[in-house]
A and B are shown apart, each in its own frame.
Chain A
Amino acid sequence: MADNQKLKLALYWAASCGGCEIAIVELREKILVIDQIADIVFWPVAVDAKYKDVEAMPDQHIDVCLFNGAIRTSENEHMAHLLRKKAKILVAFGSCAHEGCIPGLANLNDRQSIFDYAYLESPSVDNPDRVVPQPTNQMPEGEINIPKFYNTVKTLAQVEDVDYFVPGCPPQAPQIWSVIEAIVAGTLPAKGSVVGANEKTVCDECKYERNEKKVKKFYRIHEILPDRVHCLFDQGIICAGPATRGGCGALCTKVDIPCRGCYSGAPHVVDQGAALLSAVASVVDADTEEEARRIISEISDPIGTFYRFGLPNSLLHRSRLEKEQGGKS
């Protein structure tokens, strides 16, 4: 299929929204350059190649595989193992593959409760026969199988050996281009590195003026019209910038929206959510425990706020599976 001189490139989507594919298209005319330097041997969204074509490839046939999407089902995991075998370099591309991202917030539930809601309880569902998907089904024509839906969303690195990580929801086009240039030039850093981002926090790229933070009240974004000079965090809007890796160009704060943390934890941060929680709590301007509790109680969804993009990759990965007997939660 491929001319020997050309790079063999594969792209795959597991549990994702398709935004990472759009991000590739966002390269615009540079897509034509990619076509000159590479053969895209597999890309379900754009190229007609089937799983069996990948299975037929010799091992290590693909030079670089950009894998986006989290591991939600047995199909996702199967493709992760298959593409690892067939690719020399496996890249966790985008927040889902890197950290679990928005699909990873499903780790606050388990398979049973997700199925119950999605197929039975949701107000928009009309399912009088209470049909819920089963991994195997007997039909007149024989047994049919669909992929198994896991209890827990995992990151790519939790099921396979990953060479590089490209953060972002989605990765920004200039950063994707810099990664492609590094691949072509052979200047990729050590295995396991985060590429397509920088070594500072989002605050470093942010336009706002920062002062000492003293917050008496936290606002959600629809509750306040921030001024366009001072740090959003100083104004009481929770901004993930201080705990988040830079590289996006502070796109969100550029338009007065707080950073949501999609570029993963800042360098050397072990747990992005814990780091952000610490940053948020430290700026609470309270001199008594009661006041601190009152101010903090306005944050209604700590995991959704602090781990919006990184729950599966965090220290605790998910909420507890068996609820404690007699527990508060």
Chain B
Amino acid sequence: MNNGKFEPRIIAFLCNWCTYTAADAAGVARMEQPANVDIIRVMCTGRIEPMFILKAFAEGADGVIVSGCHPPGDCHYNNGNFKTFRRMPLVEALLSQFGIDGARFHWGWISGAEAPLWARLTRDFTENVRALGPLDWKRQKASKED
């Protein structure tokens, strides 16, 4: 991946039933997607603790995506996505207070039938994060003097 360009590391937490299925379909259909996005499959976005997102940034992610089933009715577990839309706005506010640009964190909904949307999200999000440059939280933590 080294062509002199900054290659961001992006972690995507996807729910098994909707967005992961979309990502799978996008791959099968050979849709163009950057290699920067590492997918972590979870059973439900309601399972995603805010701590997962903070830990991703703390350990070197330049961007984080959370995506699951459209509310209100798509959730495999009826209302797991309700937990997500209650939590994520607060996570957004928290990250902004930590000085992490809003463009580094995306959360939303992509159903299993929306593979092209997923492919486009990965391309757009990666370019936005690339434009912001490295977050490099690990280096900030490791710095000795200050």
Contacts and interface: CB of A to CB of B under 8 A. Distances in A.
Contact of B58 (A288, A315, A329): A315
Interface stretch (B2-10, B12-20, B22-30, B85-93): B85-93
Given A302-B93, A315-B55, A316-B54, A286 B99 contact: no
Contacts of B49: 274-275, 278
A175 interface: no
B86 A321 contact: no
A287 B89 CA distance: 14
Contacts, number: 117
Contacts of A317: 140-141
B132 interface: yes
A289 B87 CA distance: 10
A319 B98 contact: yes
Contacts of B90: 277, 280-281, 296, 299, 302
A316 B137 contact: yes
Contacts of B145: 150
Contact of B51 (A151, A270, A302, A319): A270
Interface in B56-80: 57-58, 71-72
Contacts of A320: 98-100, 135, 137, 140
Contact of B87 (A282, A324, A327): A282
Given A151-B146, A315-B58, A316-B98, A277 B91 contact: yes
B99 A329 contact: yes
Contacts of B98: 303, 316, 319-320, 329
B97 A327 contact: no
A21 interface: no
Q: What DSSP secondary structure best describes chain B's contact surface?
A: helix
A270 B97 contact: no
A152 interface: yes
Contacts of B102: 327-329
Interface residues of B, number: 34
Interface in A17-67: none
Task: Tell me which of B55, B89, B135, B141 has the highest count of chain A C-beta atoms within 10 A of its own C-beta.
Answer: B89
Contacts of B91: 277
Given A282-B83, A306-B94, A329-B97, A293 B89 contact: yes
A319 B100 CA distance: 8
A304 to B, nearest CB: 9
Interface of B: 49-51, 54-55, 57-58, 71-72, 82-83, 85-87, 89-91, 93-94, 96-102, 132-133, 135, 137, 140-141, 145-146
Lowest 3 A-B CB distances belong to which pairs? A320-B99, A151-B146, A274-B51
Given A281-B83, A282-B87, A286-B86, 20 more contacts: A271-B55, A274-B49, A277-B90, A277-B94, A281-B86, A281-B89, A281-B90, A286-B85, A288-B72, A289-B71, A289-B89, A296-B93, A297-B93, A302-B97, A315-B55, A315-B58, A318-B140, A320-B135, A329-B101, A329-B102
25 contacts: A111-B146, A150-B145, A150-B146, A270-B51, A270-B55, A271-B54, A277-B50, A278-B50, A281-B86, A286-B86, A287-B72, A288-B72, A289-B71, A292-B86, A292-B89, A316-B57, A316-B58, A316-B98, A319-B98, A320-B135, A321-B146, A323-B99, A324-B100, A328-B101, A329-B100
